[in-house]
Structures are given as C-alpha cells and as structure tokens.
Structure 1
Amino acid sequence: MNFSKVVLVSSVLVAAFSLASCSSTKKSESPSKPSESNSQAATPVETHNPDSANLKTIYFDFNKYDIRADQKETANKMAETLKANSNLSVRIEGHTDDRGSAEYNMALGQKRAKSLENYLKANGVTNSIETISYGKERPAAHGDNEAAWSKNRRDEVVNVK
C-alpha cells in the first residue's frame, strides 16, 4: 500500500512540474537578431518617467554603442544647447533592449552613455556630465519585437537638479 501512495504522489508531482514548466517562457539569454516573425508580433506599449526632464534621446543600433549617423544631428543640437547653458549638469542614462543577460546589458548601457559623453566633450561641451547604465531595467516600450526593441536601445540625457 505504501508503494502505491509513493507512486501516486510522484506521478502528481511530475505532472505538476511538467505543467508549470510549459506555462513559462524564457527570453533568449544571448543577444541575437530578431527573426522576421518576431519583429511583427505586437505593437509596443510606451512608458515614460515623468520625474525626469528629458533633454534629448539618442538611439542605437542592435548591440552597438557608437553614435549612428542619423543621430548625430540630435547629438550636435544637444551639444549646442549644453554649451549655451554651461551651468546645466546632466546625466546620460544608457539603456538597452531586453535581449541578452543583465550583466551584458549593464555593460552595453554604460558603453552607450560613455560614447555620448565622449561625443559631447569632443564637440566642446564642458558641462558637468555623469553617466549611468540601467541596462534593460527601464524600458521605454514593452514588446518582443523590433518596434519596441529599437525604442529601448537609447541614451536619455536628463537635467540633474
């Protein structure tokens, strides 16, 4: 009798664990390019942080931290604004999309923030600039598609009060 109870309990536990593992999904841990089918999946839901005064946002390509050619005009305008307001202190917040490990994305977000800081300084900005990486922890848009990911690969420049 005891043997049949053990078999019954074991069977129930195996079934429960099987069902639990089927209901959860795991994101890819390695940064890989999205497939075409995923990039069309859903419309991103945008979020924002109302507590920070965002001066400008610079966007990046997947797995890159260099300033894109189409973002240089924005970066140049930002540099001019900062030079004209040398009393402003700013923080460059580096962000990534949600693909890849937390450690990888923290490092990439920091490289993005430093890249913009170096670009601004090379263009004559002498303001106080601090950098921080939030990695994938503060998305601008939610969704598992290129529309959301492209909005999350960014630097935000905020006024430090």
Structure 2
Amino acid sequence: MIRLKNRLGNVVFIALIITATLSLAACGSKKKTTSEPGEISPVVSQPSGDVSSDGMTAEEREQFGQRDPGYIEESKLENVYFDYDKSDLRADTRDILKSNAEWIKANPGTKIQIEGHCDERGTEEYNLALGERRANSVKNYLVSLGISAERLFTISYGEELPEDPRHVEEAWAKNRRAHFLVTK
C-alpha cells in the first residue's frame, strides 16, 4: 500500500512539474516588431532575387525608399491625384501623365520612383495596398506611353507622408496621389 502511495505521489509530482514547465513556456512573449513612432514602413513592389526586373538591386530600392540625397529633382514631374478609395486613372490624370512621359523620354539617363499615397481614412494595411495599386496604375500607364519599365519602380507610403496634414476633405484629396522622384 505504501508503494502504491509513493508511485502515485511520484506521478502527481511529475505531472505538476510538467504542467508548471508548460505554463512558463506559454507565458513567454514575442518580440514586438512594430515601428517606432514617426518611422515609415513603406511597401516596395519588387520581384524576388538580387536584381529585380527594373534593373535595380534591393539596396538601390532601399535607398530610394529612404529618399536618399541621390534624388536630383522632385518638381519636374507633376503629381497626379485619385478619387476616394480608387486607383484608376482619371482623364485629367492621364493628361498630366502624358506630359510627365514627355519629360521622362527627354531625360533618358534618369530613373523614376513612383510613390503611391493615400489619405488617413482606412487601416494602415489597406492604405499601403491602395497606395501600391495607385503607383502601379501610374507605372503601367507610363509604360503604355513608351517609357521603359526598367526606368520605373513603385513604392507605397500609404497614409504615412501626407501632403496636407489637416483632417478635412480638401486635405484628403491632396493626399490621394502619386508622387514622382527622379534620380540618375
């Protein structure tokens, strides 16, 4: 009888140790991967591999995403704007892009970063995806106008870099845009 109690006690003791160990392991926390306040986490559209289809390395793309001082011009190409929750090009946008395409053709030694931006409404994830669709829509149209795809690449900042920080419709309309950066 005493042996049975000892064995039963050992089994209970081992079960308690296992339970305590599993409980402690379950309480472990994951390292947070969120960005610091003010830090921008852009979405860059690129195929996998060392060099993407546009001829740029991941390092070059990262430099563009950080707005490296290698940019030579921001104002030569006009921003284009989008309707609320849309990524399709308006008629006035197409006219602006035709003008931008002429400048790009006249400056063959340049590469163009197309930034997709959104207003603050919507989730961060949704706005990053919408900004990417907007930038790709612009890129595809420029390619249809004869601009080499190797000279164009896209990045989405979602709502992170507003042109106008106010919280009114007029500001939101300015923030729903594609912006261009030029480098050699």
TM-score w.r.t. the length of structure 2 is 0.58
The one-letter code of the counterpart of 2:173 is: S
1:117 matched to 2:139 = yes
Give 1:156's aligned residue: 179
Displacement of 1:160 in angstroms is 2.6
Structure 1 residues 27-48: Cα deviation after superposition (integer angstroms, max 9, x where no partner): xxxxxxxxxxxxxxxxxxxxxx
Rounded Cα–Cα distance in structure 2 between residues aligned with 1:91 and 1:110: 12
Displacement of 1:87 in angstroms is 1.2
- Secondary structure at the counterpart of residue 78 of structure 2: strand
Alignment root-mean-square deviation, CA: 1.5
Displacement of 1:149 in angstroms is 0.2
TM-score w.r.t. the length of structure 1 is 0.66
Runs of 4+ displaced beyond 4 Å: none
Give 1:80's aligned residue: 102
1:146 matched to 2:169 = yes
- Secondary structure at the counterpart of residue 141 of structure 1: coil
Give 1:134's aligned residue: 157
Aligned identity (percent) is 44
Question: Can you give the 5+ residue segments of structure 2 that lack an aligned partner in the other structure?
Answer: 1-66
- Relative contact order, higher structure (CA 8 A, sep 6+): 1
Question: Can you give the 5+ residue segments of structure 1 that lack an aligned partner in the other structure?
Answer: 1-48
Rounded Cα–Cα distance in structure 2 between residues aligned with 1:120 and 1:86: 14
